[in-house]
């Protein structure tokens, strides 16, 4: 008796089938065109604000913090909605986040090693 | 609002997920390391140049803002192409794919113009540390955008031959993942390289 036969006889779903069911459930929640356009409009507005505050005479520290926050917001919107990480299987997020965290680690190590200043 | 995506073939993989999509995410994760290293190098070395020109002398923020806006909007058209094919709208997908490729081409053209301007202002790969790290970082990003445009144009051509239908939506999704990644890298570059400058204010 194969493992597949055993699973069938016992009424146990295979990991693949479970993952497919999960993936379908995630995929069905994908946004529609209207939502994509709305998110695009938000991204455009944030970019406009970024450029505007660049020209406003605020302190350098405040400028850097504001720009980093806005940039992170844009990054998150694109990754979660346009790339569907919010809706897709968590394994995809794991793949990406691992790379992202490693990249941040490289940056931190480089900063500590080269004795440079960040901004 | 939500919609049901195209029916996808359920492959018997060990994870139950399509290996191509898994591989694409793994590739994008590795690309984070690649661009993370280049951005780190730029931030560490840009202020260590002993000779000019320096970033403050060259950057044209309004021009680069328009380029950033183009790339951002290309992400919207790309995801609309995916939404169209998932609903079986091949014509809609073709239109949005073409729009994405055109916006990508505009971005690359703008970058070529910017590089030319900087070159005339005296900045080359060998001029100083700023020039080296800037051209390597933005040049590699531009190369990624160019490859993305080629992928989009290939998909557009194939779709004109009737070889992309609703059941092939994963091909568009994979191209979209690559394209959106190129966009998020520019979101970071635009902020850290162009807007955040020590000499500002």
Residue written as token pair 């990054």: A75
pLDDT band at A1 (very low <50, low <70, confident <90, very high): low
- Domain membership of residue A105 as a residue range: 89-119
| Whole-number Å distance between alpha carbons of A119 and B21 | 36
**pLDDT at site A8:** 61
Q: How many domains does chain A have?
A: 3
B64-195 is classed in which CATH architecture?
A: Up-down Bundle (1.20)
pLDDT of residue B51: 87
How much is the pLDDT for A108? Answer: 85
Q: What is the pLDDT of residue A65?
A: 94
Residues of A in contact with B17 (CB under 8 A): 19, 23, 89, 91-92
Q: What is the pTM of this model?
A: 0.87
**Which one of B72, B79, B166, B175 makes the best mutation probe of the A interface by having the most chain A beta carbons within 10 Å?**
B79
Cα–Cα distance for residue pair B39/A108, rounded to 1 Å: 12
Residue A98 sits in the same domain as residue A108: yes
Closest approach of chain B CAs to the CA of A96, in angstroms? 4
Q: Which whole-number Å values give the CA distances from A65 to A78, B2, B80, in the listed order?
A: 20, 35, 32
Of the candidates A20, A91, A118, the beta carbon closest to that of B10 is on A20
With CB atoms and an 8 Å threshold, state whether A27 touches B29.
no
Nearest CA to B194 out of A49, A54, A100 is that of: A54
In chain A, residues 37-76 whose CB comes closer than 8 Å to chain B: 37, 39-40, 43-44, 47, 50-51, 54, 57-60, 63-64, 67-68, 70-71, 74-75
Quick check: ipTM above 0.85? yes
A74 and A41 assigned to the same domain: yes
**C-alpha dihedral sign at B24, B27, B33, B38:** negative
Q: Does A103 share its domain with A118?
A: yes
Q: Residue B195: which of A18, A30, A50 has the nearest Cβ?
A: A50
Q: Which residues of B touch A98 (CB under 8 A)?
A: 29
Residue predicted with more confidence, A16 or B34: B34
Same domain, A36 and A84: yes
Of B41, B73, B180, the CB nearest to A83: B180
Which residues of chain B, if any, have pLDDT below 70? 1-11, 199-201
Judge if A71 and A107 occupy the same domain: no
Q: Are residues A67 and A104 in the same domain?
A: no
């Amino acid at each position: 008796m194969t493992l597949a036969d055993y699973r069938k006889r016992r009424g146990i779903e295979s990991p693949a089938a479970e993952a497919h069911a999960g993936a379908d459930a995630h995929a069905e929640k994908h946004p529609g065109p209207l939502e994509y356009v709305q998110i695009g409009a938000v991204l455009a507005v944030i970019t406009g604000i970024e450029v505007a505050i660049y020209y406003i005479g605020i302190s350098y520290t405040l400028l850097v913090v504001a720009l980093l926050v806005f940039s992170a917001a844009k990054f998150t919107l694109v990754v979660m909605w346009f790339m569907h990480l919010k809706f897709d299987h968590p394994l995809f997020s794991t793949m990406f986040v691992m790379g992202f965290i490693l990249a941040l680690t490289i940056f931190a190590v480089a900063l500590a090693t080269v004795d440079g200043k960040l901004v | 609002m939500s919609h049901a995506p195209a029916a996808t073939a359920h492959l018997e993989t060990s994870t139950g997920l399509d290996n191509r999509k898994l591989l694409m995410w793994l590739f994008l994760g590795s690309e984070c390391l690649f661009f993370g290293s280049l951005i780190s190098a730029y931030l560490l070395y840009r202020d260590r140049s002993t000779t000019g020109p320096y970033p403050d002398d060259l950057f044209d923020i309004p021009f680069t803002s328009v380029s950033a806006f183009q790339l951002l909007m290309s992400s919207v058209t790309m995801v609309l192409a995916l939404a169209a094919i998932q609903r079986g709208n091949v014509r809609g997908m073709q239109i949005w794919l073409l729009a994405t490729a055109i916006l990508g081409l505009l971005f690359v053209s703008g970058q070529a113009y910017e590089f030319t301007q900087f070159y005339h202002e005296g900045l080359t790969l060998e001029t100083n540390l700023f020039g080296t790290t800037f051209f390597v970082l933005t040049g590699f990003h531009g190369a990624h955008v160019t490859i993305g445009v080629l992928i989009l144009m290939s998909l557009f051509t194939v779709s004109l031959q009737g070889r992309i239908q609703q059941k092939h939506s994963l091909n568009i999704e994979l191209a979209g993942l690559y394209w959106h990644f190129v966009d998020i890298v520019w979101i970071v570059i635009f902020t850290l390289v162009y807007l955040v400058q020590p000499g500002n204010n």
